[in-house]
Structure 1
C-alpha cells in the first residue's frame, strides 16, 4: 500500500529545489512524508507558546521588574497578532506559487522566514526597537508560519487519498502540540541565559531561530511528491456519488473562489474556530472566575494544559474519524454537539460541578482542533487535490478573521457585563450562549454544502496545461 509502483519524474530536473526534483522514485514509502511534515509543524506550532516571552519582554531594561522605558504588554500583544495576520495573508496569496514551485522550495522558504524572524527579533531586543520584533516575528515569522502550515498538508493529501483525514491530522496535530515543546524549552533557555544584565530573551531567540531553521530545512529536504496519477496499491477512487461527497475531478484555485462551496466551508471553519479560540485565550481566568475561591491559579494552569492536550489530540482523532464518517458529517457533529455543550456549561458553573465543566470544554477544544485538521481533507473532497494547497491557503483567512472575532466576543462582552454589575462568575453566560447561536449557524452552512457544479471542473487538457 505504501510503496510507489510507477516510475518517478524527469531525472534532468533543473534545480534541487524544483518541483520536478521532489518527485518520488520507485520504492519510496509514503510513510516517510508524515515525519517530514511534522518536522515543520512541530516548529511553527511554537506560535501558540509565544506568550511565555511577554512577561520577560516587559523587563528587558529593568531585568527584575519593568522600567519606565520597558515595553508594555499592550505593545507586545501586537507581535502575535501580526504573526497570525501574516500567516493568513501569506497562506492565501502564496497559494498559486506553492502549486507552481512545489513543497520543497516552499517549506525551505518557510524555514528561512520563521528562523530568520527569530534572529531579527533578537536584534530588536538587543537594540530595544520593538518595530524589529513586529517585522521579525510578526511579519517575517508570520510568513514562515503561513507557508510552513499549508505546504506539507497539500502533499500529504496527495500521498494519502485513501486516508486524507488521518494524514492531515498527523501533521496538524504537530502544530497543536508544538507549543507543548516550545513553552518549557523557551523557559529553560531563558533561565539558562539570564544574567544580571540580560533577561535571556535575545539569546533564546537566537537558539530557537537556528534550531527551527535546521529542523524545518530537514523536513523540506525529506519531502517528496507522488508521480502523476499515482495511487496506493489496490485502492480504487470512490465514485463521486458517494455519501461522503468525494470528487474525482479538480477545480482550479481561482475557479474555486467562484463556487458557493468555498464560502460555505469558509464560514464553517470561521464559526468553528470562533467558538473555540476565544475560550482558549481566556481559559485560566474563566475557570477561576466561574469557580471563585475553589480553583487555584495552579489548578487553572492545569486546566489550560488539559485543553491543549485535547486540542492536539482532537486534530488527529477527529480527522481520522472523518475518513470513515465523511467530512460533512464530522462537522455536523462539531456543530450539534458543540452547541449542546456550550448551552449546558453555564449550568455546570452555577451548580459548582467542576468535573462536567472541564469535560465539556475539553470536548469543545478537541472539536476546535479537529476543525483545523479536517478542513484540508474537506477541501480535497470538494475541489480535488490538484490545487488543494492553494485553496486551503486562501481558506485560512477564516482563521485570521476568527482570531479577531473570538477573543473580541469573549473579552468585550465579559467586560461590558462586569461593568454593568454582572458578577464575574456569571459574566460568561451570555458569551457561551452567543457561541451556541454561532454553532447553529455553522450547522446550517455545513448543511448547505453540496457537490461542486461540473461547470467548474477542469478538463484533462486544462489540468495538464496548469501543471
Structure 2
C-alpha cells in the first residue's frame, strides 16, 4: 500500500471511499452540477414545510381541528429544529466531509433526509409529535446540513476559474427546491386525502422515497478532480494581481484562528439578517404599508416574486462575483441594499407600489446572492482544500441571522404599534436599522485582507 499526493492510501479503494470518487481522464466537469442539483433541489423542500402545518392541525379531526390535535405553536418546532440541526451538522461534520469525500457525505444526507420523512410519517400515523421532531427535525436537519455543504465544495474545486458560478449553480437549487416541493406536496395531500386521512403521512412516505432516490443518484454521480487538476488552458491568477485569491490552503482548524473567518462570518450574518426578517414578514408588511390597496392574494404574489428573485440572485450575483470579485460584490450588497432600505419607507408613504416591490426584489436577490457568493469568498481567502468544512462552520452565521432578523422586524414593529405608531409606518425604524447593519457589514468587508502566511499549510501551493 502507498499514498498518493493527497495523502490517501492507495490499494483497492472501497466504492464509498473518497479515492473511489476521483475522476478518471477525460471526465467532463459539467457532469458535476447536475449531481449537485439532484441534492439541493431536494433539501430545498425545507422552505416549503409550512404547507403541512395547517393539515397537521387536523390529523384527528380531519375536516377541522379536534381537541387532541396538535397546535401550530407545537408544530412550529419541527422547522426550527430542522434549521438548528442544519447549522449544527454543517458546522461539526466539515472535517468528516473533507476526510471521507462527497459521495459518502451525500449518501448519509440521503439516508437522513429521506429517512426523516419516513419516521415523520410514522409519527403522524401514531400521532406522536416527538417522532416528527426526531424525524424531520433531527434526522432531516442533519440531512439538510450534510447535503448543503458537500456538493458546494466539490463544485468549487471543479471550477477554479468560475468559483462563484459553480457555488451559485448548487445553492440556486436550494432556493428553488421549495417552488417544486410546495405544489407537489399539496397535490399529493389532495390525492391521498380521504374520510379517515388528511393525506400527510402518505405524502411524507412518497416524498421520502423520491428524495432519497434523487439524492442517491446525485451521490453516485459526484466526482472529485485529481490532485493538481486544472481546466485546460487555465492559469491560476498571480497573487500579486489578485490579492484576495490565494494559491495556498489553510487548514479548517487554523482558519478559526484568523480574523478573516470572523469578519466573513459577520459579513454573511449582517447581509442575511437584513434580508431574512423581511422575507418572513413580507406578506404582512406590504399589506400594512399599502392598507386597503394590496389584497391577501396580491401579497401572496409578492412573496412568490421575492422567492423568484431570491433563487435567481443566488446564481446571478455569484456568477457576477467571478468578474467583480467577491469583496466588490459584497460592497454592492451593502451599499445598494443600504440605499434601498433607506428609501423604501418613503416609497410606501407616497403610495409608490412599483418602486416598493422592485426595491425588495433587488434586496432579496442580494440576500440569496450572499449565500451563494460566500463559499467562493472562502475559497479565495482560505484555498479549496478545506473549503467544505470551513463553509460548514461559517453557516452558524445563518442560524444566528435566522433568529436576529425576524426578532428585529417583529419586536420593533410590535413596540412601535404599542406606542401609537400606525401599522403603515411601523416598519420605518426597522428598515433604517437595517441600513446601520449594512454599514457595519460594509466595514467588516473592508477589513478583510489576505491570510497571513503563518496560517498556510506546508507545501500547499497549487
TM-score bracket for the superposition, by shorter chain length? over 0.9
1:68-79 correspondence runs (5 A): 68-79=67-78
Structure 1 residues 172 and 98, CA, compared in 2 at 3 Å: closer, same or farther?
Answer: same
Q: Distance in 1 between matches of 2:171 and 2:389?
A: 17
Q: Distance in 1 between matches of 2:251 and 2:36?
A: 24
* Larger mean Cα displacement after TM superposition, 325-334 or 237-246: 237-246
1:168-317 correspondence runs (5 A): 168-243=167-242, 245-317=244-316
1:11 and 1:21 in contact (8 A); partners too = no
Partner residue, 1:25: 24
1:91-132 per-residue CA deviation (whole Å, 9 max, x = no partner) reads 000010000000000000000000011111111111111111
Q: Distance in 2 between matches of 1:344 and 1:242?
A: 37
2:155 and 2:167 in contact (8 A); partners too = yes
Q: Distance in 2 between matches of 1:241 and 1:419?
A: 56
1:44-123 correspondence runs (5 A): 44-123=43-122
Q: Distance in 2 between matches of 1:313 and 1:205?
A: 28
1:13 and 1:20 in contact (8 A); partners too = no
Q: CA deviation at 1:74?
A: 1.0
2:314 and 2:365 in contact (8 A); partners too = yes
Unaligned runs of 5+ in 2: 1-7
**TM-score (norm: length of structure 1):** 0.96
Q: CA deviation at 1:13?
A: 3.7
Q: CA deviation at 1:75?
A: 1.1
Partner residue, 1:360: 359
Computed over aligned residues only, the root mean square deviation of the Cα atoms, in angstroms, reads 1.4
1:244 and 1:326 in contact (8 A); partners too = no
Tell me the SS of whatever aligns to 1:460.
coil
2:243 and 2:450 in contact (8 A); partners too = no
Answer yes or no: is 1:400 the counterpart of 2:393. no
2:123 and 2:132 in contact (8 A); partners too = yes
Q: Distance in 2 between matches of 1:174 and 1:34?
A: 10
Q: Distance in 2 between matches of 1:286 and 1:431?
A: 12
Tell me the SS of whatever aligns to 1:65.
coil
Q: Distance in 1 between matches of 2:357 and 2:201?
A: 37
1:325-349 per-residue CA deviation (whole Å, 9 max, x = no partner) reads 1000000000000001001110011
1:99 and 1:390 in contact (8 A); partners too = yes
1:88 and 1:393 in contact (8 A); partners too = yes
Q: CA deviation at 1:414?
A: 1.2
Q: CA deviation at 1:415?
A: 1.4
Q: Distance in 2 between matches of 1:103 and 1:135?
A: 25
**TM-score (norm: length of structure 2):** 0.97
Structure 1 residues 10 and 93, CA, compared in 2 at 3 Å: closer, same or farther?
Answer: closer
Tell me the SS of whatever aligns to 1:409.
helix
1:244 and 1:328 in contact (8 A); partners too = no
Q: CA deviation at 1:140?
A: 0.5
Partner residue, 1:4: none
Q: Distance in 1 between matches of 2:166 and 2:449?
A: 24
Q: Distance in 1 between matches of 2:150 and 2:262?
A: 22
Partner residue, 1:3: none
2:168 and 2:316 in contact (8 A); partners too = yes
Q: Distance in 2 between matches of 1:418 and 1:210?
A: 47
* Larger mean Cα displacement after TM superposition, 71-80 or 302-311: 71-80
1:240-291 per-residue CA deviation (whole Å, 9 max, x = no partner) reads 1234610000000000000000000000000000001111111111111111
Q: Distance in 2 between matches of 1:121 and 1:416?
A: 38
What is the count of residue pairs matched by the alignment? 456
Runs of 4+ residues deviating >3 angstroms: 9-13
Q: CA deviation at 1:11?
A: 8.0
Tell me the SS of whatever aligns to 2:435.
helix
1:244 and 1:325 in contact (8 A); partners too = no
Q: CA deviation at 1:14?
A: 2.6
Partner residue, 1:6: none
Tell me the SS of whatever aligns to 1:241.
coil
2:255 and 2:261 in contact (8 A); partners too = yes
1:169 and 1:316 in contact (8 A); partners too = yes
Partner residue, 1:16: 15
Q: CA deviation at 1:224?
A: 0.1
1:322 and 1:330 in contact (8 A); partners too = yes
Tell me the SS of whatever aligns to 1:18.
coil
Partner residue, 1:153: 152
Structure 1 residues 244 and 325, CA, compared in 2 at 3 Å: closer, same or farther?
Answer: farther
Q: Distance in 2 between matches of 1:122 and 1:416?
A: 40
1:125-157 per-residue CA deviation (whole Å, 9 max, x = no partner) reads 111111111111111000000000000000000
1:336-415 correspondence runs (5 A): 336-415=335-414
1:216-241 per-residue CA deviation (whole Å, 9 max, x = no partner) reads 00000000000000000110001112
